[in-house]
Amino acid sequence: MNLDDFSDLIERPDGGVRRDAEERRERQIVPPGALGRLDELGEWLSAAQQAVPVKPILQPRVVLFAGDHGVAELGVSGRAAGTAHELVRATLEGATPLAVLARQFSVPVRIVDAGLDCEPELLPESVVRHRVRRGSGRIDIEDALTAEEAEQAVRLGIAIADEEADSGTDLVVLGDLSVGGTTAAATLIAALCGTDASVVTGRGGAGIDDLAWMRKCAAIRDSLRRARPVLGDQLELLATVGGADLAATTGFLLQCAVRRLPVILDGVVSSACALVAQRAAFRAPDWWLAGQVSGEPAQTKALDRMALNPLLDHGVIVGEGSGALLALPLVQAAAALAAELPERVPADEDDASKTDTDDD
Residue 63's beta-bridge partner residues? 110, 174
Q: Among 86, 236, 252, 13, which residue's Cα sits nearest to residue 146? A: 236
Could you give the maximum distance between any two Cα atoms of the chain, in Å? 88
Name the residues annotated as catalytic: 320
Closest CA to 67 of 165, 144, 147, 163: 144
Within 10 angstroms of residue 332's Cβ, the number of other Cβ atoms is: 18
Alpha carbon distance 188, 237 (integer Å): 8
Please list, in sequence order, all residues whose beta carbon lies within 8 angstroms of the beta carbon of residue 115, skipping any fewer than 6 positions away.
66, 67, 68, 131, 132, 133, 134, 135, 136, 153, 243, 244, 245
Cβ neighbours for 320, distance < 8 A, ≥ 6 positions apart:
64, 87, 91, 96, 97, 98, 175, 176, 177, 205, 266
Q: Taking the CB of residue 158, how many other CB atoms lie within 10 A of it?
A: 22
The SS3 call for residue 153 is helix
Cα radius of gyration rounded to whole Å, the chain? 22
Q: Which of 81, 56, 235, 261 minimizes the C-alpha distance to 154?
A: 235
User: 253, 277 in Cβ contact below 8 A?
Assistant: yes
d(CA 209, CA 75): 11
Residues 248-278 as b or e (16 or more Cβ within 10 Å = b): bbbbbbbbbbbbbbbbbbbbbbbbbbbbbbb
How far is Cα 242 from Cα 226, in angstroms, rounded to an integer? 11
